[in-house]
Amino acid sequence: MFRKTIATLATGLAALMLTGLAHARDQIQIVGSSTVYPFATVVAEKHGQRGSMKTPVIESTGTGGGMKLFCAGLGPSHPDFTNASRAIKGSEKELCAKNGVSEIIEIIVGNDGIAFANNSKSQKLNFTPGQLWMAMAENGPKPKTWNEIDASLPNAPIKILAPPPTSGTRDAWDSLIMGPGCKEAGMVSGKECDGFREDGAVEEAGENDTLIVNRLSADPEAFGIFGFSFLDQNRDKIQGSTINGIEISLDTIQSYDYPIARPLFFYAKKAHIGVIPGMQEYMEEFVSDAAIGDYGYLLDRGLVPLETSTQEKVRNDIRNLTPISM
């Protein structure tokens, strides 16, 4: 009896492996940015509820990790979409082209602002990129307290929870704050602007934004850096600082008046459209009026919508499926 059981199990397993290999996919697979993930998942769920098609599967791999998987090749074993919190890089285009992914469609879905926030019981502050750079940079003056940078800032120790180098939020922070702040602070040329100080004042807190929010609500002296949606969902615990006197809000991010705003994207493989069912419908759902229009459901989740004229253009792009130049 024992031998029989083993034989049955082994045959069953072999059969399973074979069907696995011959598997044609009927479910959309999406990878990419953890910033776009909260929006893409909501769209995927709607897409699944709407039709008879399966709900897309979404992995949060980070923008860079997503590009790597996306550009690995064509066919059912590679993802159909990748989400990105920055535009595709030249090197990633090359990787794609090398692996036969020659036609990629780029879709802008909205904007995101990055908040520099602290405990809502503490004082609400205003910073300039230059002040933030001085507080955070490895090649800066490395002050101990905020009032060493500017007398208007409080006499409190500098304690900042920052995103790790793998995240798209960090890329945006580097290009929008560290770069301009470096110039504003009058950095001597020839030295690196990016790079956080490593004496403990700036702490890389990992990708878990919920954790940063909890740390801020426990520690009135700490500041955190994360996406607008987390600030929006936790307004009873934390508040966003103003940057150059500008409050972080839907309007200031949309108009790019708030200095740390960036567009969010997703990329589609043209060769998969029509092969994997539902891709066209998913793209249309993501940029539909019901999702990103004036009262769209993604706005409730903290997505900052595109200007109305841009929305029309994006919808046209999806109808025409124009690939980006490689």
Sign, Cα dihedral of 197, 207, 64, 311: negative
Does 65 bind other proteins (CB under 8 A)? Our answer is no
Selected from 4, 15, 27, 101, the binder of other proteins by CB under 8 A is 27
**In this chain, which of 190, 200, 236, 274 binds other proteins, going by CB under 8 A?**
236
290 binds other proteins (CB under 8 A): no
- Residue 242, interface with other proteins (CB under 8 A)? no
- Of 109-117, 156-164, 195-203, 230-238, the segment contacting other proteins by CB under 8 A is 230-238
Nearer to other proteins, 24 or 188 (CB): 24
| CA gap 241, 155 in Å, rounded | 17
- Taking the complex as a whole, the smallest distance from the CB of residue 70 to other proteins amounts, in Å, to 12
| Structure tokens belonging to residue 229 | 């949606």
Query: Are the beta carbons of 225 and 168 closer than 8 angstroms?
Result: no
48 binds other proteins (CB under 8 A): yes
320 forms part of the interface with other proteins (CB under 8 A): no
Residue 95 CA to residue 59 CA, distance in Å, equals 21
Rounded CA separation 103/326 (Å): 8
Q: How far is the CB of 210 from other proteins (least distance, A)?
A: 6
3-state secondary structure (DSSP) of residue 54: coil
> Can you tell me which of 302, 303, 311, 314 binds other proteins, judged by CB under 8 A?
302
SS3 at position 321 = coil
Q: Which is nearer to other proteins, 155 or 295 (CB)?
A: 295
**Least Å distance between CB 99 and other proteins?**
13
What residues have CB less than 8 Å from 108, skipping those under 6 apart? 263, 264, 265, 306, 310, 314
Among 4, 21, 151, 155, binds other proteins (CB under 8 A): 21
Phi, psi values for residue 202, rounded to 5°: -110, 125
Does residue number 208 form part of the binding site for other proteins (CB under 8 A)?
A: yes
CB-count burial class (<10 Å; 0-12, 13-18, 19+) for 216: buried
Please give the Cα distance from 286 to 30 (Å, whole number): 13
Could you say whether residue 63 binds other proteins (CB under 8 A)?
Answer: no
In the range 104-123, which residues lie near other proteins by CB under 8 A?
Answer: 120
Report the site for other proteins in 145-174 (rule: CB under 8 A).
Answer: none
Q: What are phi and psi of 302, to 5 degrees?
A: 100, 5
Does position 102 interact with other proteins (CB under 8 A)? The reply is no
Cα(115)–Cα(125) distance, integer angstroms: 12
The DSSP bridge pattern shows strands 104-119 and 223-227 to be antiparallel
Interface residue list for other proteins (CB under 8 A) = 2-3, 6, 9-10, 12-13, 16-17, 19-21, 23, 25, 27, 29, 34, 37-38, 41-42, 44-45, 48, 54-55, 57-60, 76-77, 120, 207-210, 229-230, 232-236, 295, 300-302
